[in-house]
Structure 1
């Protein structure tokens, strides 16, 4: 594969076409250059006519491949030259928003300097000499010329069903469409049985995993392309598996080079996506894992584990072994037998090839569109093709996607009889050849995009917007139709790559409720092919390997799994470099790479289009950045940069500028008006000393992403008016400091109604503004003028200073697609009109609105309307009332102290509401009480009569949380206690219960046996007896009077126990420990009478095996000693625990002691 004769030249045709379309005829206006430009154009036109035939012949003719490589090199050099000339011909004051269309780089006819004319002519003359030789060589190949000068496009069929719409609220990190998988039913069943029951049904004595094993490991083994990951995805998403493991299911892609802390971070983020892992040390990560996993039965999938990671296996898996409940499982997928045998697999599932029939079903699902009549002759040829795939699903999928674009019998026969099948028994090599065949059948425009993706590391999560922006920066996405966007073309190319499985959907990340961003991955073998195809243009350096790099490469990526980035020595000699991209592969975004080579060397490369310096510890960017005339993509995100040089304004070609999370940046450019090609401008989470966003936005008419606009206090009206012509704006827009805007007409001119691509709009009035701060009617008019386009999906209004919310906000004709609405800090608003007609609304949040007293309809007006309706129906007959809030699933009302009523004009309301939260609404008296689908209810500081009214028909909760009022009278507290008892008795299937601040509750009501999690806090006269508690797995008791544990009363499911501030808590009997074999963590704090784990028979303790791994004691002065021989693995944490005793007797020679201050131990 290393020989030049084997090279496949990617993208020659498209490079030449780009060169022709650069508008070089305008360069000919430069005096003294026209003759050379005409020659260049002639050579390109001649060569372009034979490229399609040359492209077809390169597969079998090494000399054609070399000719194409030489042509591509010359064409790319010419492109660099001409684009640089185009830049030099621009004058900044000519770059205005009026420049539209496809030829925005205009040459001026006023180049008069002798030096420029001489350099221009000389450079083009050198290119022409090379092209002249290439043009002469082409005649020796007798290529077939195209009679039509317009290059024919490939007819490539793409079905809408190929890229599925991701399901909403999908919480798994792994996606699989089960209907697209064939032949793995038995494999799935065996593994599911093994996970649930500990047996695969096999007679093999090694194929059973005992339920008593705390953590067991099983391996799915098979070579690349056989479907290991797909099988693991099927198992992971199985309903029985989900029910068995609950919410603690974790998917982590490991890949070849990994750091242990990276994997731990991924695990933590899978458990809780809000985990903030800022600069956690390894020890801190271990503690966090202990907290999150302790006592829980979990399933962890470690996908794509390699031999390179075996030396890290024990350290990696240790926290899972120590803290998981019995029955926890780890599933590892690998292609290496040594991995399966070394990691101590309790069961190895060796994945087999698919049968011919299974392969045929998979092939036909890809090759023929759904419902399409299939020609029998094609089906028969397909059977022969499938037999040659060797039962490898990846090969079948790729070929099926390829055949979808071919509709004649001869095209199918050509594939069946192709030479690439003559490869013997080397299945892996055969799969690679199939992938290369599919590549060669791609449209040329898509080929260059695919091969460029070799710059990404293996297993990299490719975000759609990122890869499209990179393709744009390289000039791969050209538009030729009016109104067509490069982004639309990029999305189509992604769809084509998905069709042939070159891209595979990895996950759908939720951005807003109804809008998800698909994340893609490339299979390892597909990535290998991309690297092979682009090896003379793209190079990736992994972990600073001292590889020799061809100085003629065009794209360089540096991949680091540690925290040092070694920029290659002599990088300034790579004068043709177009892309420099750093990829730190560790998970913590707050960690930053250390760079060992000075940045100025990199900035000498004048043909750079892509420069990613994300997460580098840069404090200052050299002014030489302004010399990168062709730069289109600049990523400085997560860096420590403090200021930007003024030369940034010279980057006229810049399309993407990412400054997000530059927390040290204290000043933004005063104007960005010269960056007229800018399409994506990210500045979110920049402190910039509270400075406003740059001015000059009105010149950026191509701008599609402006994630935040912080208005200037002195000129907010003029600032927001700059958005008037930015009608391509999309994604999320955060408007800050709207309170400073003093001209409503200017806001109307900003035309938010015309910005149809915006899906999220966050309006923040910010601090009280000067002259308009107390003018509520002005703010009412201002918000009314901010009415958005009807395609908006998410709306947030914060710190609004007006009295009433706009009419458009409640109108379904205006907001038919609104999915999420948040109203926060609108302290002057007294009412919210009914939002029940918003047919798509799924989530509603109302928070911190001090003056709000009413939601919905006015009660008096509603009664009058009802009487009129009654009279009318007597005459005209009954009419069905409209369903209000038909799609609402989540409703939160928090900290609204003066809310009194919520009335609606229909009883048919909230049919899909699943989660309701009411907190700190002490005056609420009336609210709708029809919740047929409610699953989770959280109530705090709400009047008990209101609670009774709201909850009277609720009987199917899985989660209930109640917090009483600390200021309640004894009678009110009694009512609250009665409501809690009534709710618990009515809802028989509760799994989670939280009770807080019930001052009169003396004993626990009868609890449902389905309960898994129980939390009791601040019930000062409550006495809890274990005999009255069900078999919960998680128990938190704090600030109650007493906790009495009966030796023989409790089940064996408890895994976590926390007891704090309980005066009458004396001991945990030995039988309690023996009966709870899943118990992993015990934490006891400020229990003054607690004496420890006591028994009349010390030998009995020693003979009792206990699984507790963490014992934390604080401020328990009555403890005199601990008899802990039965604790097999134990960490003891003590803090000021025994002020009344100078010595403790701790009978456990294997225990480890941590944070044990002021305590002396006598160990047996």
Structure 2
């Protein structure tokens, strides 16, 4: 566009919209500006206030806190710096600003609010609704895209596209909001799509102000005394805990009853207590997100919501057969309360719900429609089955879910022949399946070392991109079946997924694999080089305490970008560092990273406790315990060991006499083993 006359002049184009930058020069990749780090934010704020002069020591701590609360946005830092330059240089005055950073930014004039309003006004109409809907989540909340997109689809914000599913359209809207700098990406999946994000406090406050102005969303700030007129015209209500230190909020019944009957979405963020009898008043409700509200049993009043499309709740008890009254239901998420029993049943009539797209029911039995007088209906829209227990993949079941894309199932170990019992060999007929997760939970008192190896030689869908196995106990040689999958990109082997101590993969396997996770395995010797994993980018190893080292041949890989380690031997850390040196010295990958989570030897104790809990207590969710400690003081270590022992003795006693009816001698035996394992590593290293 402009001639290069070698005068040294340059033109910098800045924009909040990624497509504008790409249009200016399509052949170049735009430089994305990341938020400033805390130290950079403080340097910019200090320079704006004091220039070249030093900041008084008494104001530095408060000043750094103010800079951190600006969230790394230079514009916010400059605006706050301008305000601080005009107030007294005292701790009281600066503390007043620190307590109201976001509100001061919003009310500071045109510099911030007009810029945000300009970005909002240029949004397409459907993106405006999607943006305002994100106000249902509180500040600093990490929003999962998979959850948000389901709520968008249920609300009907998105236009239908012939060659895309509604979830794909919603994912595109998330990417568009990110390209417009309206959200901050925090996680990406293996395909490079945004998996989770946050909103800057400044943007969230603007979102809430705009949602309130347009009567789009209401977030009540008071628990009682709300006037019905305040809620008479609201279409969406999100209930947040009043204070951070109070996680439980009581919602009186008169509060819910005064809500408009035209309510479209009711979202509760944080643990609340709500009377479910009021749900029946919301005849037009489409989204009911109350997964953090604990119901003792399935709230039957939900069955009167004939317009409901999205239900997420936590309860115990079986799902009633009358759930089929909810003809428009697209998403059903039932999370089990830990205090209840561990197994539940779904009604066979659920096979008649043709609009269902996502079904997640933790540890629930889905009955086989064969043999029951149920009309043969094909679930053309069903994409996700998660959390189901001991699901049998009969031909009758597979014929009803031809377009399923994600399956997550849990099986109870019952000895040899586990795969033939559940007919997993029929999975190869699911040609649209993209993600598969299989977890096997051993019986109480049965440690993984006692589980017999099971053959894993049945065919898997060639369309698989993500495969997660946990507790299946297959020999390492059987991974050849998995390695032959042509499109597999992510493989996670967790918690005794493989039996044996040696792994020698074959060449021309795992050709497209870019992420490999090894966690909680007994692997000792691993032989591989770059030709075995030609596309591998990320290698993650956790709690593999017997692994000697990472194969040195992995250092020759041209694609490997990152190795992450946790709870491994020192020799594994050393081999990862050697691979990093090899990558940098050869110039193949200067940006190669090794992420080591050091635990100062405490991971040996943590690993033992984790294994006992995951393998023995995990089938009882109310007793699950996950430990990850890193202490520097001997006294703290001793106190921690003592606390863990007291808790576990109590847990074993509770599960024995209340839940499992195990003999007291077994309790003493298990506690003794745990005691010996804990102190075997602790006494040698810490005392």
TM-score bin (small chain): 0.5 to 0.7
Is it true that 1:159 corresponds to 2:19 in the alignment? yes
Is it true that 1:203 corresponds to 2:203 in the alignment? no
Contact 1:717–1:742 (Cα < 8 Å) also in 2: no
State the partner residue of 2:63: 218
Name the CA shift for 1:188/1:729 in 2 (closer, same or farther; >3 Å). same
State the partner residue of 2:634: 1058
State the partner residue of 1:487: 167
Is it true that 1:634 corresponds to 2:306 in the alignment? no
Contact 2:433–2:461 (Cα < 8 Å) also in 1: no
One of 203, 207, 210 as aligned partner of 1:527: 207
TM-score normalized by the length of structure 1: 0.39
For residue 435 of structure 1, report the CA deviation from its aligned partner. Answer: 4.9
Contact 1:543–1:565 (Cα < 8 Å) also in 2: no
State the partner residue of 1:508: 186
Name the CA shift for 1:491/1:160 in 2 (closer, same or farther; >3 Å). farther
- Aligned residue for 1:709, secondary structure, equals strand
Is it true that 1:582 corresponds to 2:582 in the alignment? no
- Aligned residue for 2:437, secondary structure, equals strand
Contact 1:473–1:633 (Cα < 8 Å) also in 2: yes
Q: In structure 2, what is the Cα distance between the partners aligned to 1:439 and 1:996?
A: 48
One of 324, 334, 356 as aligned partner of 1:649: 324
Q: In structure 1, what is the Cα distance between the partners aligned to 2:476 and 2:38?
A: 64
Q: In structure 1, what is the Cα distance between the partners aligned to 2:339 and 2:633?
A: 43
For residue 611 of structure 1, report the CA deviation from its aligned partner. Answer: 1.7
- Aligned residue for 2:579, secondary structure, equals coil
Q: In structure 2, what is the Cα distance between the partners aligned to 1:901 and 1:186?
A: 36
**Paired residues for 1:247-258 under 5 Å:** none
Name the CA shift for 1:221/1:776 in 2 (closer, same or farther; >3 Å). closer
Q: Deviations over 1:373-422 (max 9, x none)?
A: xxxxxxxxxxxxxxxxxxx999xxxxxxxxxxxxxxxxxxxxxxxxxxxx
CA RMSD, 1 decimal: 5.8
State the partner residue of 1:754: 431
One of 546, 565, 572 as aligned partner of 2:250: 565
For residue 650 of structure 1, report the CA deviation from its aligned partner. Answer: 1.8
One of 481, 484, 501 as aligned partner of 1:808: 481
Q: In structure 1, what is the Cα distance between the partners aligned to 2:566 and 2:147?
A: 37
One of 216, 220, 236 as aligned partner of 1:555: 236
Q: In structure 2, what is the Cα distance between the partners aligned to 1:488 and 1:576?
A: 29
Q: In structure 1, what is the Cα distance between the partners aligned to 2:388 and 2:470?
A: 15
- Aligned residue for 2:123, secondary structure, equals coil
Name the CA shift for 1:799/1:336 in 2 (closer, same or farther; >3 Å). farther
Contact 1:802–1:829 (Cα < 8 Å) also in 2: no
State the partner residue of 1:468: 149
Q: Deviations over 1:226-252 (max 9, x none)?
A: 9932248999xxxxxxxxxxxxxxxxx
For residue 468 of structure 1, report the CA deviation from its aligned partner. Answer: 1.8
Q: Deviations over 1:519-554 (max 9, x none)?
A: 13261452144324432x533212415232343432
One of 791, 798, 804 as aligned partner of 2:465: 791
Contact 2:538–2:562 (Cα < 8 Å) also in 1: yes
For residue 582 of structure 1, report the CA deviation from its aligned partner. Answer: 1.7
Q: In structure 2, what is the Cα distance between the partners aligned to 1:475 and 1:649?
A: 21
One of 662, 673, 677 as aligned partner of 2:351: 673
Contact 1:761–1:796 (Cα < 8 Å) also in 2: yes
**Paired residues for 1:973-1012 under 5 Å:** none
For residue 602 of structure 1, report the CA deviation from its aligned partner. Answer: 2.6
Contact 1:643–1:665 (Cα < 8 Å) also in 2: no
Q: In structure 1, what is the Cα distance between the partners aligned to 2:75 and 2:113?
A: 24
For residue 566 of structure 1, report the CA deviation from its aligned partner. Answer: 2.3
One of 612, 623, 645 as aligned partner of 2:300: 623
State the partner residue of 2:92: 342
For residue 504 of structure 1, report the CA deviation from its aligned partner. Answer: 1.7
Structure 2 unaligned segments of length 5 or more: list them: 1-16, 23-29, 371-376, 445-449, 582-592, 605-628, 642-687
- Aligned residue for 1:833, secondary structure, equals coil
Q: In structure 1, what is the Cα distance between the partners aligned to 2:603 and 2:237?
A: 58
State the partner residue of 1:170: none
Q: Deviations over 1:904-943 (max 9, x none)?
A: 999957987856789799xx9xxx98973269xxxxxxxx
For residue 343 of structure 1, report the CA deviation from its aligned partner. Answer: 8.1
Contact 1:913–1:933 (Cα < 8 Å) also in 2: no
Name the CA shift for 1:202/1:479 in 2 (closer, same or farther; >3 Å). same
State the partner residue of 1:704: 383
TM-score normalized by the length of structure 2: 0.62
One of 845, 862, 881 as aligned partner of 2:518: 845
For residue 853 of structure 1, report the CA deviation from its aligned partner. Answer: 9.0
- Aligned residue for 2:294, secondary structure, equals coil
Q: Deviations over 1:741-767 (max 9, x none)?
A: 4279x5444337623532x63353856
Q: In structure 2, what is the Cα distance between the partners aligned to 1:711 and 1:1085?
A: 37
